[in-house]
């Protein structure tokens, strides 16, 4: 930890105790990234982890995950998370950060960090999540996960806003999901990741006419991009849709893979993930 400009730390016990935002403030969740590198300009830390938000709650319609819910708490989510649980678990196991951080690193911290190679933001996009932000004026602002991150390390979060919760429609937990990711080594950043979704249609008669299918492409792109597929989409349809996403998006081009390589890997992963959800398949970590 090398936060030489920090002169104050506050630990509010409730949201009402959060001090008015000022220039130089940084919200702290697990601190696993914040304390891992110098933070020039940060003078006060506002630690959100003492606020007694319930990590995961479920009603008939919505699953509410608090921003400070840790990866360990997500993995223990069990019945509260339904089908979203295994998807979160696979994403956590695809992270290049150490398992030693899982008790501290939070879902909200990952989302607000907005890494291009975020594993958790794409999951929220696949689940159709909405983010509940608290504004400095004390209001709530709801933003779709798919609209929150707009570039690598860039979101639409305004100064002073903090993420309070991630809201997932309960119906999303009935869908089939498959996450496919590729990286050069088991511990390196992902080169590309694709999550395929298949939500059965109403009626339950086995017909695929009313189902909803989607892909979320990430790690190859600067931020997660979701695209809807036609009901009954096949592997080749998904690969073509994924290539279209790549052609319209900014692709990463670094030591983990050139843009052209990433485009090819995304198409391959999209086909494999779509084949898996077509068979009611589910999860796998890396290829
Ligand atoms: C070496 C290393 C490798 C990593 N590799 C990966 C990877 O491959 N894939 C991946 O997805 N992640 C990766 N991460 C990120 C990691 O998994 C954590 O998600 C991340 O460190 C943030 O978690 P945190 O809860 O500790 O947040 P913190 O470090 O406390 O905060 C992160 C940022 O978010 C802000 N913030 C936190 N909570 C809120 C909130 N509620 N409202 C507003 N702003 C907030 C903070 O001000 C800060 O800017 C890596 C991290 C490290 C250090």
Do 89 and 150 lie in a common domain?
yes
Do 157 and 64 lie in a common domain?
yes
Q: What is the mean pLDDT of residues 211-216?
A: 95
For residue 285, the model assigns a pLDDT of 36
Structural domain of residue 129, as residue ranges? Answer: 56-170
- Asked if the structure places residue 219 within a domain, the reply is yes
- Asked if the structure places residue 257 within a domain, the reply is yes
Q: Please say which residue of 153, 170, 187 terminates a domain.
A: 170
Identify the residue whose C-alpha is closest to ligand 1 atom 15. Answer: 110
Do 191 and 240 lie in a common domain?
yes
For residue 147, the model assigns a pLDDT of 98
* Alpha-carbon gap, residue 39 to 24, rounded angstroms: 10
State yes or no: pLDDT of 282 exceeds 60. no
- Asked if the structure places residue 26 within a domain, the reply is yes
Task: Please identify, by atom number, the ligand 1 atom nearest to the C-alpha of residue 36.
Answer: 53
Q: Please say which residue of 113, 147, 170 terminates a domain.
A: 170
User: Which of 54-68, 208-222, 234-248 bottoms out in mean pLDDT, i.e. has the lowest?
Assistant: 208-222
- Asked if the structure places residue 108 within a domain, the reply is yes
Do 263 and 217 lie in a common domain?
yes
Strands 44-47 and 8-10, how do they pair?
parallel
Q: What is the mean pLDDT of residues 20-25?
A: 97
Q: Provide the domain count of the chain.
A: 3
Do 137 and 110 lie in a common domain?
yes
Write out pLDDT tens, residues 187-199.
Answer: 788 999 999 999 9
Residue in the block written with tokens 């073509």: 240
Q: How far is the CA of 210 from the centre of ligand 1 (A)?
A: 38
Do 39 and 125 lie in a common domain?
no
Contact assessment for residue 235 and residue 162, using Cβ atoms and an 8 Å cutoff: no
Task: Please identify, by atom number, the ligand 1 atom nearest to the C-alpha of residue 68.
Answer: 41
Which mutation among 72, 113, 156, 220 tests ligand 1's pocket best, with the greatest number of atoms within 8 A of CB?
113
Q: What is the mean pLDDT of residues 204-233?
A: 89
Q: What percent of the chain is modeled with pLDDT above 90?
A: 84
User: pLDDT band for position 207 (50/70/90)?
Assistant: low
For residue 23, the model assigns a pLDDT of 96
For residue 126, how many C-alpha atoms fall within 13 Å in the half-sphere facing its CB? Answer: 33
Radius of gyration of the chain (CA): 19
SS3 per-residue string spanning the chain: CCCCCCCEEECCCCHHHCCCCCCCEEEECCCCCHHHCCCCCCCEEEECCCCCCCCEEECCCEEEEECCCEHHHHHCCHHHHCCHHHHHHHHHHHCCCCHHHCCCCEHHHHHHHCCCCCCHHHHHHHCCCEEEEECCCCCEEEEEHHHHEEECCEECCCCCCEEEEEEEEHHHHHCEEEEEEECCCCCCCCCEEEEEEEECCCCCCCCCCCCEEEEEEECCECCCEEEEECCCCCHHHHHHHHHHHHHHCCECCECCECHHHHHHHHHHHHHHHHHHHHCCCCCCCEC
State yes or no: pLDDT of 176 exceeds 80. yes
Quote the tokens at residue 82: 């339904």
Contact assessment for residue 229 and residue 215, using Cβ atoms and an 8 Å cutoff: yes
Do 158 and 183 lie in a common domain?
no
Do 246 and 225 lie in a common domain?
yes
Do 155 and 183 lie in a common domain?
no
Closest by CA to 282, choosing from 144, 89, 150, 135, is: 89
User: pLDDT band for position 97 (50/70/90)?
Assistant: confident
Q: Please say which residue of 130, 150, 170 terminates a domain.
A: 170
* Alpha-carbon gap, residue 161 to 27, rounded angstroms: 9
For residue 284, the model assigns a pLDDT of 43
Task: Please identify, by atom number, the ligand 1 atom nearest to the C-alpha of residue 32.
Answer: 26
Write out pLDDT tens, residues 138-165.
Answer: 999 999 999 999 999 999 999 999 999 9
pTM for the full model? 0.95
- Asked if the structure places residue 285 within a domain, the reply is no
- Asked if the structure places residue 2 within a domain, the reply is no
- Asked if the structure places residue 283 within a domain, the reply is no
Which mutation among 21, 48, 110 tests ligand 1's pocket best, with the greatest number of atoms within 8 A of CB?
110
* Alpha-carbon gap, residue 284 to 276, rounded angstroms: 10
Q: What is the CATH number of the domain that holds 138?
A: 3.30.465.10
- Asked if the structure places residue 251 within a domain, the reply is yes
Write out pLDDT tens, residues 229-251.
Answer: 999 999 999 999 999 999 999 99
* Alpha-carbon gap, residue 77 to 66, rounded angstroms: 12
Q: How far is the CA of 201 from the centre of ligand 1 (A)?
A: 36
For residue 204, the model assigns a pLDDT of 55
Ligand 1 interacting residues, C-beta cut-off 6 A: 26-34, 36, 48, 67, 95-97, 104-106, 108-110, 112-113, 115, 117-120, 162-163, 189
Q: What is the CATH number of the domain that holds 193?
A: 3.30.390.50
Do 161 and 180 lie in a common domain?
no
Do 203 and 149 lie in a common domain?
no
Do 158 and 182 lie in a common domain?
no
């Amino acid at each position: 930890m090398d936060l030489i400009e920090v002169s104050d730390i506050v630990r509010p016990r409730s949201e009402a105790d959060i001090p008015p935002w000022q220039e130089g403030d940084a919200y702290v969740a697990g601190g696993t990234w914040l304390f891992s590198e110098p933070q020039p300009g940060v003078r006060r830390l506002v630690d959100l982890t003492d606020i007694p938000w319930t990590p995961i709650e479920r009603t008939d319609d919505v699953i509410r995950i608090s921003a400070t819910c840790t990866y360990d708490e997500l993995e223990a989510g069990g019945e509260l998370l339904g089908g979203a649980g295994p998807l979160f678990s696979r994403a956590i196991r695809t992270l290049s950060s150490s398992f030693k951080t899982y008790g501290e690193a939070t879902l909200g911290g990952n989302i607000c960090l907005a890494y291009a190679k975020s594993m958790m933001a794409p999951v929220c996009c696949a689940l159709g999540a909405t983010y509940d932000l608290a504004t400095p004026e004390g209001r709530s602002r709801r933003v779709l996960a798919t609209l929150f991150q707009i570039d690598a390390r860039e979101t639409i979060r305004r100064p002073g806003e903090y993420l309070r919760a991630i809201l997932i429609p309960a119906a999303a937990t009935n869908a089939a999901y498959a996450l496919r990711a590729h990286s050069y080594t088991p511990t390196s950043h992902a080169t590309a990741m694709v999550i395929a979704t298949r939500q059965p249609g109403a009626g339950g008669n086995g017909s695929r006419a009313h189902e909803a299918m989607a892909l979320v492409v990430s790690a190859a792109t600067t931020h997660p991009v979701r695209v809807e597929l036609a009901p009954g989409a096949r592997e080749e349809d998904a690969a073509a849709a994924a290539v279209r996403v790549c052609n319209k998006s900014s692709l990463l081009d670094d030591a983990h893979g050139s843009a052209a390589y990433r485009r090819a890997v995304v198409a391959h992963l999209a086909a494999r993930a779509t084949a898996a959800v077509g068979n009611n398949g589910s999860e796998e970590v890396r290829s």
